[in-house]
Amino acid sequence: MNAPDAVQPEWRVKSANQTRLAYGQALLELAVRESRTVVISADTQDLLGIRPYIERYRDRFIELGIAEQNAIGVASGLATTGMRPYVCAYAPFISARSMEQVRNDVAYANQRVVIGAAASGVSLGVAGGTHHSLEDLAVMRSFPNMHVIVPADVNEAYKATLATLDIDGPVYLRLGGRTEEPPVTDAHAPFLLGRAAQLRPGKDVAVLACGAMVDLAVRASDTLKKEGIGVRVLNMSSIKPFDRDAVLAAAAETRGIVTAEEHHLSGGLGGMVAELLAVEHPTRMRMVGMPDAFAMVGPTVPIRVKYGMSAEAIVGACRALLA
């Protein structure tokens, strides 16, 4: 259980249940722990809530404006000198516009660059297709050396950001937008790279989810529990590396697996799980996510529901799997 607001740490209150802001709050702590920390912004001072960082550490901050390719190039260059760069960017732009620089300057060179990519999925639904990021997991997890993390809530986002200090290589942190992300993880549990966290037990079906879909998976599990269906929920926040043992155990110990993600059905979490199971443990599966389409313009939650990214859709997938 999370502590009442009155006794929560300052960073938790200021994160306002938004992972993008938790990342910005974690940068303040990183600057204290590591004097080589430098923050690079691509016109994202408010998006990632980094103005407090700028006020305290102006000499360790670089604003490059709407120039994501430059941001990645500068970050990579700083990393070669021993600095610890943290990029603040929009997910749809950093993963598409600067894909070449991420691939060649960061992943290929295996630089210790952390990319905080906010506004992922359809969390900026009202901004339209240019601002939706529904293919970034497929791109980022395909790069050798790249670590890919999708926090489920602010507790995990904050801890995962701090954990990047101990990751030797590039990191892509997929963060949400201006839509609230309810707390769903254990506030006191450490973030463990490459490990899944079980949030609900169950032997009938397993739901493997990441990001904003984790809370919806928990709700689906609670709904099906009332029908006597045991749904195991795994928070797959560590996409690369991922917890192969937890996935294989879920396949062996349940009647099938449902994946849930705010990402295209091709190349993301569902594809990652299917790739493993097809070779090592063929298993019945259903996938909940964005179909092969560009999302229409609209508020985030209704857009999710329209395209089948909801607790009801997860419930339906579980029932279909068990039918």
Domains of the chain: 8-174 (3.40.50.970), 197-322 (3.40.50.920)
Closest CA to 72 of 121, 45, 109, 37: 109
Is residue 6 predicted with pLDDT exceeding 80?
no
266 contacts 289 by C-beta, under 8 angstroms:
no
Average pLDDT score over residue span 205-217: 98
Cis, peptide link before residue 241, omega less than 30° from 0: yes
The mean pLDDT value for 82-101 works out to 97
Output the pLDDT for position 107.
98
Query: Could you tell me what percent of the chain has a pLDDT over 90?
Result: 96
> 248-279: per-residue pLDDT in tens?
999 999 999 999 999 999 999 999 999 999 99
Residue 194, amino acid: G
Q: How far apart are CA 143 and CA 131, in angstroms?
A: 22
For residue 5, is pLDDT > 60? Answer: no
Average pLDDT value for residue range 296-310: 96
| Beta carbons of 117 and 174 less than 8 angstroms apart | yes
pLDDT of 195: 98
Q: Is 86 exposed, middle or buried (0-12, 13-18, 19+ CB in 10 A)?
A: buried
Would the pTM count as exceeding 0.85? yes
pLDDT of residue 1: 43
Confidence band for 7, pLDDT divided at 50, 70 and 90: confident
d(C-alpha 258, C-alpha 189), whole Å? 25
What Rg, from alpha-carbon coordinates, does the chain have? 19
Q: How far apart are CA 254 and CA 271, in angstroms?
A: 19
Per the CB < 8 A criterion, the answer to whether 284 and 296 are in contact is no
